[in-house]
Amino acid sequence: MSVKYVPVQWNRQKKIYDSILWGGILLFISSYVGFQLLFQTHISLETLIIRATALSAFFLLHLILCIGPLSRLDDRFLPLLYNRRHMGVSMFLLAAIHGIFCIIQFHSLGDTNALVSVFTSNEKYNSISQFPFQVLGFIALCIFFIMAATSHDFWLKNLGPKFWKLMHMLIYMAYGLIIMHVATGAFQYETHPIYWLLLVFGFLNVFGFHLMAGLKEMRYLRVSKKDDEKNNFYFVALEEDIPENSAIQALVEGEDIAIFKYENKISAVSNTCKHQMGPLSEGKIVDGCITCPWHGFQYNPKNGQSPPPFTEKLKTYQLKLIGDEIWIDPKPKAEGTYIEPLVLKSSS
């Protein structure tokens, strides 16, 4: 990563990803437009654009929200996760076209400033059925803009991974606003039950995948017990519990730790990737390095340092082998500190 702004570099993988993404978007929009023109021959071009961009952005938003938990449930979804930012920016562009056309069509013909009109044309803020739904969509669009504008490693590096990640968690707030925007807006006119069923189906998918991923993580999360403490070390696993070139996650004294087995050795580092705070314990050892499952950032398991020219460093932890039991001291060493890995007895 660099602190200097560098334009997005499109490699072959990203070009294929974006080609498939926008090919799918254009196919979706053209199919929707064709369907609308077939059954509503008098529909205006502006209305077509407003509806088509709204529907495609809404569908993409659900897909974006589902990719994260799906990737944690099944590795086959990881290729979708690697360039999810491209999908997010594409979703924002579609939502922006929808918002701009709505403001022009519904708020630009009066004496009031169009943006002011969004907030003042309907002042029934104390009504549920007649709530000014366009305000909800406008606020969500502002959130999408902030997220799209900062979807670059330049901002990730300068804002810091924790703040950047926290800021991008606003997508869930935006999703809630969009759900209310649709429910109090378009659905006041489109009363067919199928629309409500689709809305609920989409919400349940987002909620359900997040719940399943959380339950899976809880199942593998190992929380040490105070009763197991021996000289500040805590029991975390048996040798056989950790698959080769993989890791388990352990939560000890508030420390989120990834414990890796590789080349018949064991090392422990912080479970949080420095790039986008991805869960390293769900990654693999590739070419001798811990490899984050989200975007492929790598670290040396012995000292937590990224290979040159990268400079990211992780906290490391002291381990102890008692019989076939792995014990850990949860007090972290300074980021990048070398710790001799445990050598498993089966190698001697």
Per-residue pLDDT, 10: 67
CA-wise closest residue to 57 among 149, 178, 152: 178
Return the DSSP state at 116: H
Shared-domain flag, residues 178 and 269: no
Alpha-carbon distance values, 151 to 155, 173, 202 (Å): 7, 17, 25
Q: Does residue 214 fall inside a structural domain?
A: yes
Cβ atoms of 99 and 185 within 8 Å: the answer is no
The closest of 207, 71, 181, 95 to 146, measured between CA atoms, is 95
Domain of residue 269 covers 229-343
Please say if the pLDDT value at position 228 is more than 70.
no
Using CA atoms, how far apart are residues 220 and 213, in angstroms rounded to an integer? 11
pTM over the 0.85 mark: no
Whether 177 and 255 share a structural domain: no
CA distance linking residue 297 with residue 193, whole number of Å:
46
| 327 and 281 co-located in one domain | yes
Going by C-beta distance under 8 Å and a sequence separation of 6 or more, which residues neighbour residue 153? 1, 2, 6
Question: How far is it, in rounded angstroms, from Cα 107 to Cα 54?
Answer: 18
Q: What percent of the chain has pLDDT over 70?
A: 92
How high is the pLDDT of residue 2?
Answer: 40
Residue 3: the pLDDT is: 47
For residue 319, the surrounding DSSP H or E stretch is: strand 319-322
Q: Is 1 within a domain?
A: no
Same domain for 216 and 267? no
Q: Which two tokens stand for residue 297?
A: 């950032």
For residue 216, pLDDT over 90 is answered with no
pLDDT of residue 4: 55
CA–CA separation, 282 and 213 (whole Å): 12
Within a domain: 6: no
**Structure confidence by residue, pLDDT tens digits, 56-72:** 999 999 999 999 899 88
> Is residue 282 pLDDT above 80, yes or no?
yes
CB 331 within 8 A of CB 320: no
Task: Report which residue type is found at 260.
Answer: F
- What angle do helix axes 45-73 and 193-220 make, rounded to 10 degrees? 20
* pLDDT of residue 264 exceeding 50: yes
Is residue 86 predicted with pLDDT exceeding 50? yes
Asked whether residue 5 is domain-assigned, the answer is no
Last residue of a domain, one of 220, 244, 273: 220
205 and 302 co-located in one domain: no
| pLDDT-derived band at 22, boundaries 50, 70, 90 | very high
Of 195, 220, 245, the last residue of a domain is 220
Residue 118 sits in the same domain as residue 238: no
Q: Whole-angstrom Cα distance, residue 247 to residue 236?
A: 12
- Rounded to an integer, the average pLDDT of 195-209 is 93
On whether the CB atoms of residues 152 and 3 are closer than 8 A, the answer is no
Backbone angles phi, psi at 261, to 5 degrees: -110, 130
Asked if residue 293 belongs to a domain, the reply is yes
Are both 75 and 153 inside the same structural domain?
yes
Task: Give the 3-state secondary structure of residue 160.
Answer: coil
Whether residues 210 and 127 share a domain: the answer is yes
CA angle 188, 190, 194 (to 5 degrees): 120
- Indicate if 179 and 296 belong to the same structural domain: no
| Shared-domain flag, residues 214 and 112 | yes
The pLDDT assigned to 62 comes to 96
Q: Is the pLDDT of residue 348 over 50?
A: no
SS3 187: helix
Question: Using omega within 30 degrees of 0 as the cis cutoff, is the peptide bond preceding 307 cis?
Answer: no
Which residues touch 17 (CB under 8 Å, ≥6 apart)?
A: 79, 82, 83, 86
Token pair for 309: 């020219």
Assign residue 254 the CATH number of its domain: 2.102.10.10
Q: Is 171 found in the same domain as 95?
A: yes
Please give the C-alpha separations between residue 29 and each of 18, 19, 266, 296, 334, in angstroms, as whole numbers.
Answer: 16, 15, 51, 33, 52
The pLDDT assigned to 233 comes to 87
**Predicted confidence (pLDDT) per residue in 111-149, tens digit:** 889 999 999 988 888 887 788 999 999 999 999 999 999
Quickly tell me which residue has 């334009």 as its tokens. 7
Out of 185, 220, 255, pick the residue that ends a domain: 220
> What pLDDT is recorded for position 1?
41
Structure tokens at 286: 């590739």
Q: What is the pLDDT of residue 5?
A: 54
Residue 3 lies in a domain: no
More confident residue, 189 or 323: 323
- Residue 198 sits in the same domain as residue 107: yes
Instruction: State the total domains in the chain.
Output: 2
Task: Choose between 171 and 347: higher pLDDT.
Answer: 171
Q: Alpha-carbon distance 301 to 317, whole Å?
A: 11
Tell whether 306 is covered by a domain.
yes
The two tokens of residue 218 are: 């809880």
Q: Binning pLDDT at 50, 70 and 90, where does residue 232 land?
A: confident
Round the average pLDDT of the chain to a whole number and report it. 87
What is the DSSP secondary structure assignment for residue 306, as one 8-state letter? P
171-175, 217-221, 242-246, 289-293: least confidently modelled range:
217-221
Residue 4 lies in a domain: no
**Residue environment code for 27-53, b if the CB has 16+ CB neighbours within 10 A, otherwise e:** eebeebbeeeeeeeeeeeeeebbbbbb
